[in-house]
Amino acid sequence: MDYLELFLESIGTLTLNKTRTGLAILGIVIGIGSVIALVSLGQTSQQAIQSQIESLGSNLLTVRPGSINQSGVRGAAGGRTTLTLDDAKAISSSPQITTVNSVSPESEQRTQVTTGGNNTNTEIMGVEPVYAQVHNVTMASGNFITQTDVDSMTKVAVLGPQVVTDLFGEGANPIGQSIRVKGQTLTVIGVTTSKGGTGFMNQDDIIYVPLTTVQKQLFGTNYLSSIVVEAKSAEVMVDAQDEVGYLLLARHNLKDPASADFSIMNQQDILNTVSATTGTFTALLSGIAAISLLVGGIGIMNIMLVTVTERTREIGLRKALGAKKKVITAQFLMESIILTFSGGIIGVIVGIITSYIISDLINAAFVISPSAILLAFAVSAGIGILFGWYPANKAANLQPIEALRYE
Amino acid sequence: MNTKPIIQTSHLSKIYKTGTLETIALENISFEIQKGEFVAIMGPSGSGKSTLMHILGALDKPTTGIYLLDGKNVEKLTDDELAEIRNQKIGFIFQAYNLLPRTTALKNVILPMIYAGVPKEERMEKAKKYLNLVGLSDRMEHTSNQLSGGQQQRVAIARALSMNPAILLADEPTGNIASVQAEEIMAIFQKLNDDGHTIVMITHEHDIAQHAKRIIHIRDGKIIEDGNGHKQKKIPACAGR
């Protein structure tokens, strides 16, 4: 009995009971489909988050006040006041610094902002004009903070789109209007374009104000909350980190890097951390999907066992007519392989369509993982053989006379 | 000429055990069947004749005793070797026809030849030949549930013949069909026997048994009478009056 014949025979048997065959296939379709859809959902969101982080700017080092580790006690980052505007100026002007493109001193604080009847709690970011270049800020309307604004401590503000919505209503043009922050009145001169992000990562919920205005007029502090340094390229990030670090150590009269009163965070580190988190998320989703695949496989085994029981007489007859064990095993194995394979193919298609719909819904780039498809398919084939083998073997070992007598 | 019997049993017994209860189905059965014989095995229901048939057909094994089929001790064979014997040497005709459901007559007849590895064209040709022989050439593409009882039994006969086996074993071949059709089937058997086929047939109907040349009577698992050819010839004469 050659394989083509066996295949055609099995197809014939499977089409005799379409409902049951369909249900068995459905189990595998759901299993495979969910593996592919969930893995691709994980990867889609991973890419979305990464591209969001990259939109913050590239090749960035963030210097924050506070220590990484002091005498074994970790200080809270940002909890100390050690970075000054002079530090930032030194970084941009020192001859020892060769790998840095631009330096953006920043002073950030959350506070209540009001206008007319509305108010919101948002981020006030004191910046210099270089901020826009370092962080890829683009304007939707009006202008960003200029050097003149910084030099003369102008009371102006550039709003993120979320703040515009919160204070003036969606789509309103706030340019020329005034907002009140810490008892001061600031005039809105521009609105930035949306950078996306949601919840605590919302990059649109922010107000940019000249650095000097923030320091002298709003919060009365000389310290910076961070100095963001843009390296010349991704390759020199580590060099830039060292150069900036040693310069600041020298300026702060510290000899031991371990006792530094600031920390430098590499953007790559942040990216890695986030990747690891979303990777865990993807693994979790895949785990859930794998369980549904397993359940689908057991469904196939169940159907095959029922089939063997139901066709006991037929198996007995086939053996009585001279079918050897191998032939009976092959026949039932072939049936379960056909079930899992057709389920696998439909599952792959369903999975791809589902992940396309999901990526469309969350506005992310459509990512499909060939390895997930391959894996899911291999697993389904494996399930077909594994879960088909037991019933097939059971059928092959039936004694012909007992099988024939079976009612 | 080969004088070795095709079927040879000595002191066969079959005991079924259900818990502590032992049921003796066959006891001390010894007989020989030569090539070309037409034997009927008769007995009331529960006499053990079906059990004997299953053992003769290598579907079941005796508890004790020796069964030589064409000189081979069946007990010593593996499952797969038994399958081959059933395929090559035995044509089994079941009382309940046992055709594959929802399968055409042609495919049913082809099945044993598929297991024997007969090439596609040859088995097609043979299947048509034997279906023709049993008078079903116009019913080849009918599935088993579209055929009458007598037609199904004739498909089963064609299937049993398809491998040209040394022995035809028929378990109540006319048990489930009308008497007119039963006569047709006996005519086929008679013709096959005339062509040299060895036939062993179980029946409980006297007039069906008359077609055989030898009748073995079984009761309570024991042979009570083994009528030879001479005696056989008398009975149809008496029956015919």
What are the chain B neighbours of A1 within 8 Å (beta carbons)?
Answer: 114-115, 117
What are the chain A neighbours of B111 within 8 Å (beta carbons)?
Answer: 318, 321
Residue A59 lies in a domain: no
- DSSP labels for A111-156? EEEEETTEEEEEEEEEE-THHHHHTT--EEEE----HHHHHTT--E
Lowest average pLDDT, out of A267-281, A331-345, B227-241, goes to: B227-241
State how far residue A396 is from chain B, nearest Cα, in angstroms. Answer: 10
CB contact under 8 A, A314 and B60: no
pLDDT digits (tens, 9 = 90+) for A288-331: 878 877 887 788 788 888 888 888 888 889 999 999 999 889 98
Q: What is the pLDDT along chain B (241 residues), one digit of tens a residue?
A: 456 889 999 999 999 888 888 888 999 999 999 999 999 999 888 888 888 999 999 988 899 999 999 888 988 899 899 999 999 999 999 888 889 888 899 999 999 999 998 998 999 999 999 999 888 989 999 998 899 888 998 999 999 999 989 899 999 888 878 888 888 889 989 988 998 899 999 988 888 888 899 999 999 989 988 876 444 444 343 443 3
Assess A315–B contact: CB distance below 8 Å, yes or no. Answer: no
Quick one: A295 and A371 in the same domain?
yes
Pull the structure tokens for residue A183: 């008892």
CB contact under 8 A, A322 and B88: yes
Alpha helices in A311-369 (DSSP H): 312-320, 325-361
From the number of C-beta atoms within 10 Å of its C-beta (0-12, 13-18, 19+), residue B141 rates as exposed
Pull the structure tokens for residue A396: 């092959």
CB contact under 8 A, B112 and A5: no
Answer whether residue A337 shows pLDDT above 50.
Answer: yes
- Model confidence band, residue A200 (pLDDT cutoffs 50, 70, 90): low
Q: What is the pLDDT, as a whole number, of residue A80?
A: 55
Distance, CA of B46 to CA of B26 (rounded, Å): 10
What are the chain A neighbours of B79 within 8 Å (beta carbons)?
Answer: 324-325
CB contact under 8 A, A322 and B83: yes
Domain C-terminal end among A233, A262, A287: A233
CB contact under 8 A, A16 and B102: yes
CA angle B211, B212, B215 (to 5 degrees): 130
Assess A320–B contact: CB distance below 8 Å, yes or no. Answer: yes
Q: What percent of chain A has pLDDT over 70?
A: 94
pLDDT digits (tens, 9 = 90+) for A63-108: 888 754 444 455 444 445 778 888 888 888 888 888 888 899 999 8
Which of A1, A314, A320 has its CB closest to that of B114?
A1
Residue A75 lies in a domain: no
CB contact under 8 A, B112 and A321: yes
Distance, CA of B124 to CA of B91 (rounded, Å): 18
Average pLDDT estimate for A20-44:
84
Assess A314–B contact: CB distance below 8 Å, yes or no. Answer: yes
Q: What is the pLDDT, as a whole number, of residue A379?
A: 80
Answer whether residue A281 shows pLDDT above 50.
Answer: yes
What ipTM describes this predicted complex? 0.87
Supply the range of the domain harboring residue A31.
Answer: 3-52+273-405
Q: What percent of chain A has pLDDT over 90?
A: 14
Q: What is the pLDDT, as a whole number, of residue B2?
A: 54
Residue A324 lies in a domain: yes
Residue A250 lies in a domain: no
Average pLDDT estimate for A129-134:
89
Q: Which of B93, B111, B163, B167 to mutate to test the interface with A (most CBs of A within 10 A)?
A: B111
Distance, CA of A280 to CA of B166 (rounded, Å): 70
Which of B60, B98, B112 has its CB closest to that of A401?
B60
Assess B139–A contact: CB distance below 8 Å, yes or no. Answer: no
Q: What is the pLDDT, as a whole number, of residue B228?
A: 61
- Model confidence band, residue A201 (pLDDT cutoffs 50, 70, 90): low
Residue A203 lies in a domain: yes
State how far residue A394 is from chain B, nearest Cα, in angstroms. Answer: 14
Residue A61 lies in a domain: no
Q: What is the pLDDT, as a whole number, of residue B229?
A: 46
For residue B85, give the chain A residue with the closest CA: A322
Average pLDDT estimate for A341-365:
85
Q: What is the pLDDT, as a whole number, of residue B88?
A: 92
- DSSP labels for A189-257? EEEEPP----GGG-TTSEEEEEHHIIIIIIS---B-SEEEEEESSGGGHHHHHHHHHHHHHHHTT---G
Choose between B93 and A49: higher pLDDT. Answer: B93
CB contact under 8 A, B100 and A314: yes
Domain count of chain A?
2
CB contact under 8 A, A322 and B87: yes
Assess A4–B contact: CB distance below 8 Å, yes or no. Answer: no
Domain C-terminal end among A207, A233, A259: A233
Chain A to chain B, count of Cβ pairs less than 8 Å apart? 56
Choose between A330 and A1: higher pLDDT. Answer: A330
HEC string for chain B: CCCCCCEEEEEEEEEEEECCEEEEEEEEEEEEECCCCEEEEECCCCCCHHHHHHHHCCCCCCCEEEEEECCEEHHHCCHHHHHHHHHHCEEEECCCCCCCCCCEHHHHHHHHHHHHCCCHHHHHHHHHHHHHHCCCCCCCCCEHHHCCHHHHHHHHHHHHHCCCCCEEEEECCCCCCCHHHHHHHHHHHHHHHHCCCEEEEEECCHHHHCCCCEEEEEECCEEEEEECHHHHHHHHHHHHC
Residue A246 lies in a domain: no
Q: Where are the domains of chain B?
A: 99-164
Quick one: A277 and A229 in the same domain?
no
Residue A242 lies in a domain: no
